[in-house]
Structure 1
């Protein structure tokens, strides 16, 4: 009987120790964050936005809001952004509703004075059957309305020409981009917004990009970005005057 009691008490102690060890393990292992709910990738620039802090006196921040053309820009020519109040907030692959969702965090909350909106190409490239130029324009218009409500100057972009997407061949996007640019131009005129024409300097005779200005028919090379820089500076000066 005494032996059974000792064995029983020993089992209780072992179970208690095991549970305690499991509890310690569960509290010491860091929980892995799940970002599936962050469809617009708001977390990408969260730390950088915080580090920016409040604008200095006289600082006029200009946000470049777009996808890969903007994100790759600071990689190809970081010197263009150095020493300026230019804030690159491009995220490769993003479509216009994602830019709209990011607008508060990546434009309004960092106290931008102006925003350059380059949107639409990835919507067209997705080709899910649900994307139309009218829906792209709805998202652009919503961003413009948010900017105006927060006294932020808007620069709208006529998108670069694209004859084909290397990763989604056969979509024939050239005419769709031309049609979208026509809508963007008309809306910019209607709302008295600055239009930044990236299409004209890049377009070749078949409505694609000039070979000497691009790496893949979609994204500019350094020479292409240099051309964009000159006309972008002009548009910013016009918007902020």
Structure 2
């Protein structure tokens, strides 16, 4: 029963506003940065909680979420916390058809653009992150062109960031095996980083959050 309760909660609360409501209420100081995203961010907190604590970061990732779900959590999980930065890493679940239907990379990137606009309107500095070089979404084998979609997604996001003078964290290149695909020592499933992958990401990210 416990194992399926989060699924029921997510169906009843489409964006899962309640997941972090207690944690948000219990914060005693403004975080320097909110890391916003999906299972990668949620897993990051579990894999290396000391990174978040030591840097006054909070993680607000929810497994399986798409950019549209994350967008509507901006007020509850970012704006009300009044951080200096919001670090946005999401989009792979749109490519993985997690909404139950196809979502174009243009639409997914558009949701991130809206997140950036909301952040800036509230005095928060957005930092956007490329997708990793995922090439085999095992839970969605019918998506044969995931790597090509990742490349296109990153191109659009990088162009937007350049146009709007937003910091762009290029994890794709950082963790590439030379072909663009994520190096196998950084991920067992090509989608989610392992602790070695997270450590590489951490060292790189800190340079963007001075």
TM-score of the aligned structures, taking structure 1 as reference length = 0.79
2:49 maps to 1:78: yes
Unaligned runs of 5+ in 1: 1-32
Alpha-carbon offset, residue 84 of structure 1: 2.3
Alpha-carbon offset, residue 170 of structure 1: 4.0
CA RMSD of aligned residues (A): 1.8
Q: Give the alignment of 1:158-237 within 5 angstroms.
A: 158-171=130-143, 172-237=145-210
Residue of structure 2 in register with 1:49 after alignment: 24
2:73 maps to 1:131: no
2:129 maps to 1:151: no
Structure 1 range deviating more: 35-44 or 153-162: 35-44
Alpha-carbon offset, residue 79 of structure 1: 1.6
2:60 maps to 1:106: no
Mark the CA change 1:133 to 1:35 in structure 2 (over 3 Å): closer, same or farther: closer
Q: How many Å separate the matches in 2 of 1:130 and 1:158? A: 20
Q: How many Å separate the matches in 1 of 2:50 and 2:28? A: 22
Mark the CA change 1:34 to 1:119 in structure 2 (over 3 Å): closer, same or farther: closer
Mark the CA change 1:69 to 1:49 in structure 2 (over 3 Å): closer, same or farther: same
Structure 1 range deviating more: 196-205 or 178-187: 196-205
Residue of structure 1 in register with 2:63 after alignment: 92
Aligned residues: 201
Residue of structure 2 in register with 1:13 after alignment: none
Structure 1 range deviating more: 41-50 or 82-91: 82-91
TM-score of the aligned structures, taking structure 2 as reference length = 0.90
Alpha-carbon offset, residue 54 of structure 1: 4.7
Alpha-carbon offset, residue 168 of structure 1: 1.1
Q: How many Å separate the matches in 2 of 1:175 and 1:133? A: 11
| 38, 57, 61: which one aligns with 2:13 | 38
Residue of structure 2 in register with 1:7 after alignment: none
Q: Which has the larger radius of gyration?
A: 1
The answer on whether the counterparts of 1:62 and 1:86 sit within 8 Å (CA) in structure 2 is: yes
Residue of structure 1 in register with 2:88 after alignment: 117
Unaligned runs of 5+ in 2: 1-7
Q: How many Å separate the matches in 1 of 2:179 and 2:87? A: 27
Alpha-carbon offset, residue 61 of structure 1: 2.1
Alpha-carbon offset, residue 202 of structure 1: 1.8
Q: Give the alignment of 1:12-27 within 5 angstroms.
A: none
The answer on whether the counterparts of 1:157 and 1:196 sit within 8 Å (CA) in structure 2 is: yes
